[in-house]
A and B are shown apart, each in its own frame.
Chain A
Amino acid sequence: MKQEHELLRRYLDGELPREALPVELRAEAARFERLFAALDPEDVRLRTTLRADVMRQIRQERRTAWRAFQWLVAPRPIRVSPLAAALSAAAVLALVLFTRAAPDRMPGLPGADRVDTRFIYLAPQASRVAVTGDFVNWDPDGVPLERRSDGVWVAELRLEPGLHHYVFVIDGTEWRPDPNAASHVDDGFGRRNSVLLIAPPVRHAS
């Protein structure tokens, strides 16, 4: 069947004379010839204005894009009601506060990967002990520790896994590294920071 179609195609393309076709295909070939003859070449002639029409359409589209660009860059007064202005200002404020209080910088916020970390400092004579470090933007006030028996100060924070540098602030004035820290590092200002490593939780590939 395929071969017969191939013969027909070659005949219609002018590669084969009609005599080369098998007898059973000649009727089919004649039917195609009649069909082609019935086609009026005038019907498929492109109209003379086609080119001009296409170019006009393209120019029109370009003009639309240019108009959109002009709309974007043209300065225009925006009329806003007082309520809309107040709502917009509130939205901006909320966004600023939200980004400032980014979860990776706030201790104590719940987070899936955060790790409970306990800070302990022995200072029986101190009236206030706080911990500060990169996890609280080095806030000079830090996070206050709670005084327990025998002058032991304790705080528990939920911290992100990673490498943290921190120190204790005693009575708001003395900055001291953690004597129980795993290690210490030069802070670049001639003092030492304590180093806290929180290993990231292991995620097993499924």
Chain B
Amino acid sequence: MRASSLSRWACLIVLACAGALPLASQQRLQQRLDAATLAALRPVFELARRDSVPVTALEDKALEGAAKRIPAERIVAAVQQLARDLRDARVLLRGARPSGAIADGEVLAAADAPRRGVPTAEIAALAANVPPALSLLVPLTVLGDLVQRGVPAAEARQVIQELLAAGISPEQLAEIPARVDVALRVGAQPREAFFNALPIPVRPPVPQQRPPGPPSESSVRIGPPTP
């Protein structure tokens, strides 16, 4: 084959590859969203890409809105809100884990958790205390599951940390909420169901003692003095 022919083929292949890759990402949106919605979403995706926020999750949210026949302006608003949530979650995780990569799944789980009732302080504490070698995906999701079932967030978080420190696998951790459900169905209280569902016995965390000293304002009894 002559050199000119080779270079011609090389040009064609390079052009094909360069064009096809971004096309694939855009195509799945273009097929389902109108041009105006796509134009409104493009800056949100660009900003997210710049901030290392998982763009696929935002695209998924837009596709979900289109599938559910949600009006365009509400789709854009939901995607913008999700982008904010994901950005906040990423900042929160980065603050708790200053080094090492943060996986998209971990950001998604950290963004989901507050919507399920987990205080951000507990998310940060879990992220800071789980060994960096372990993914936060399962611990954060299980924490959300437990809080949704009525288990106190701080207690659930401390127990999850202890279980991970004891070498419990993510699969074992992920099974806990289903076991809690079984106990809840037969009438157990959430906290009791939780401690009975653990794969290894864990002592309930001791509530933090108040340092000795004068009573705080919140514990001062208001009303007539007791005789």
Chain A residues proximal to chain B, CB less than 8 Å: 78-80, 84, 88, 91-92, 95-96, 99-100, 102, 132, 134, 137-140, 162-163, 165, 175, 182-189, 191, 193, 195, 197, 199-202
Q: Distance in Å from the Cβ of B144 to the closest Cβ of chain A?
A: 7
Judging by beta carbons under 8 Å apart, are A185 and B112 in contact? yes
**At the interface, yes or no: B91 with Cβ under 8 Å from chain A?**
no
Chain B contact residues: helix, strand, loop or mixed: helix
- Cα distance A80–B15 when bound, in Å? 14
12 contacts between A and B (CB under 8 A): A80-B8, A91-B12, A100-B28, A102-B24, A137-B60, A162-B137, A183-B145, A185-B112, A187-B68, A188-B81, A189-B68, A195-B144
Judging by beta carbons under 8 Å apart, are A182 and B63 in contact? no
Q: Distance in Å from the Cβ of B85 to the closest Cβ of chain A?
A: 9
> Which of B123-131, B172-180, B186-194 is found at the contact surface with chain A?
B172-180
Render B1-36 as a binary contact track against A, CB cut-off 8 A, 1 for contact. 000000011011100110111011001100000000
**At the interface, yes or no: B78 with Cβ under 8 Å from chain A?**
yes
- Cα distance A163–B103 when bound, in Å? 12
Judging by beta carbons under 8 Å apart, are A163 and B112 in contact? yes
Judging by beta carbons under 8 Å apart, are B20 and A185 in contact? no
Closest B residue to A85 using CB positions: B12
Decide: A189 near B65, CB < 8 A? Known: A80-B12, A199-B138, A199-B170: yes
Partner of A183, one of B16, B17, B148: B148
Render B26-51 as a binary contact track against A, CB cut-off 8 A, 1 for contact. 01100000000000000000000000
Task: Give the A-B pair count, Cβ closer than 8 A.
Answer: 113
- Cα distance A163–B110 when bound, in Å? 11
Residues of A within 8 A of B169 (CB): 199, 202
Judging by beta carbons under 8 Å apart, are B13 and A91 in contact? yes
Decide: A191 near B68, CB < 8 A? Known: A95-B17, A163-B141, A200-B135: yes
Chain B residues proximal to chain A, CB less than 8 Å: 8-9, 11-13, 16-17, 19-21, 23-24, 27-28, 57, 60-61, 63-68, 70, 74, 78, 81-82, 105, 108-109, 112, 115-116, 135, 137-138, 141-142, 144-145, 148, 169-171, 173-174, 177-178, 181
- Cα distance A193–B64 when bound, in Å? 10
Q: Distance in Å from the Cβ of B151 to the closest Cβ of chain A?
A: 12
- B64, B65, B137: residue with the most chain A Cβ atoms closer than 10 Å: B64
Judging by beta carbons under 8 Å apart, are B20 and A162 in contact? no
Q: Distance in Å from the Cβ of A55 to the closest Cβ of chain B?
A: 31
Partner of A175, one of B23, B68, B135, B170: B68
Partner of A92, one of B19, B74, B148, B173: B19
Partner of A163, one of B13, B28, B82, B105: B105
